[in-house]
Amino acid sequence: MALKTGIVGLPNVGKSTLFNAVSTSAKAQASNYRFCTIDPNTGLVDVPDNRLYQLAEIVKPNKVVPTQIEIVDIAGLVKGASKGEGLGNKFLGNIREVDAIIHVVRCFEDENVLREEGAINPVSDKEIIDTELQLKDLESVEKKIQKIAKQARVGGDPLAKIELDILERVKSWLEQGKNVRQLGLVKEELPAIADLFLLTIKPTLYVANVDEPSMHTGNKYSEMLQKVADEEGAEMIILNNSIEAQIAELEDADDKAMFMEEYKMTEPGLNRLLRSAYKLLNLATYFTAGVQEVRAWTIEKGWKAPQAASVIHTDFEKGFIKAEVISFDDRIKYVTEAACKEAGRLRIEGKEYIVNDGDVMHFRFNV
């Protein structure tokens, strides 16, 4: 699945530093001036999952293939972006193309890092970005209302009336300075706004970029951000983006372990970020395990077996017959497929089977 997560925030809050830390396929320029990033940088990021390597330990495959998320480093937004300030229209268009947002907020003091917004205030910084996204969404919603109002009010189209009611509710919500993802639209109402690709409906994870002394405990600024994230029902994690970037630069595993030990880290903070991003997108993982490769596959939670098979190849869904399924815990416990089968832990599932996170699967199909 080609899933994209965009890194956004004000200029000079540590977005490109974070991108460089997470990306395995690209490096972004990180500099202390506005609009250092103009064209978005894109990189593929391996999603950390120890289960994949536990399977590899018992299967001994030729290769191990983790699942990935595409990360996009989007240039810093400024006040007035919704009206085109600071190349705003271009940058907002970049956000429209992603599935979820990682919003980086500055939670540290450093007079050497340029800042145009005055004293450090993570809440107002967040609100600047929110406001620009809301204004752009409001513009999109108002245009669609104008388009269908005549059909609903003059033409009497009942479907148009329903759609107009939903759009009017969204418009009112945005005018209150609220994000559409908080409105609580039900599944049946979403088609009314699906073609607008609204920015504030995208699931969002907040990253409090703190200084080194605060990387484990947080500080007064991250506490301020945590409070507003909790009110929104969003998740927030604390990182020191600079330290994470340094860890990512180390290629030798021993050097990396020594560096993390020095900073009292059991794993890179980026692992938490990537797991949170995966959760944010409502994703699950299933595995295929054979001598050629042990591989993790990304699906959306709730997918049935034929849909899950389609991420390997569309023919797998078209010609789906059944799936052989072993839970991850059973596969580790009994070691071999034959032992799982003997213990009655290998199941044959049909088209209605909802795949569980961690299932080890083999698909039978005929095209």
DSSP state string for 234-302 = -EEEEE-HHHHHHHHH--SHHHHHHHHHHTT-SS-HHHHHHHHHHHHTTEEEEEEE-SSEEEEEEEETT
Domain ranges in the chain with CATH number 3.10.20.30 = 302-365
Per-residue pLDDT band at 87 (split at 50, 70, 90): very low
* Residue 316 CB-density burial (10 A; 0-12 exposed, 13-18 middle, 19+ buried): buried
Cα 74 from Cα 189, distance rounded (Å): 30
Single-letter residue type at 81: A
The model's pTM is 0.84
Beta-sheet pairing, 4-8 with 68-73: parallel
CATH of domain 302-365: 3.10.20.30
Domain ranges in the chain with CATH number 1.10.150.300 = 129-196
Q: What is the pLDDT of residue 319?
A: 93
CATH 3.40.50.300 assigned to domain 4-49+64-119+201-279? The reply is yes
Cα 175 from Cα 204, distance rounded (Å): 20
Residue pLDDT, tens place only, 291-329 = 999 999 999 999 999 999 999 999 999 999 999 999 999
- Positive or negative CA dihedral for 265, 267, 273, 275? negative
69 by DSSP, 3-state: which? strand
Q: What is the pLDDT of residue 158?
A: 84
- Identify the H or E element spanning 322: strand 320-326
Q: Which residues are annotated as a binding site for ATP?
A: 12-17
pLDDT at 66 over 80: yes
Find the angle CA(223)-CA(226)-CA(232) to the nearest 5 degrees: 150
Domain ranges in the chain with CATH number 3.40.50.300 = 4-49+64-119+201-279
Q: Which residues are annotated as a binding site?
A: 12-17
Dihedral, CA atoms, 294, 295, 300, 305, nearest 10 degrees? Answer: -50
Q: What is the assigned CATH class of domain 129-196? A: mainly alpha
> Which residues have a Cβ under 8 Å from the Cβ of 21 and sit 6 or more positions away?
241, 244, 245, 247, 248, 270
Residue pLDDT, tens place only, 100-158 = 999 999 999 887 766 666 788 999 999 999 998 899 899 999 999 998 988 877 667 78
Can you tell me which residue has the tokens 């070691």? 335
Question: Quick one: tokens of 362?
Answer: 């083999």
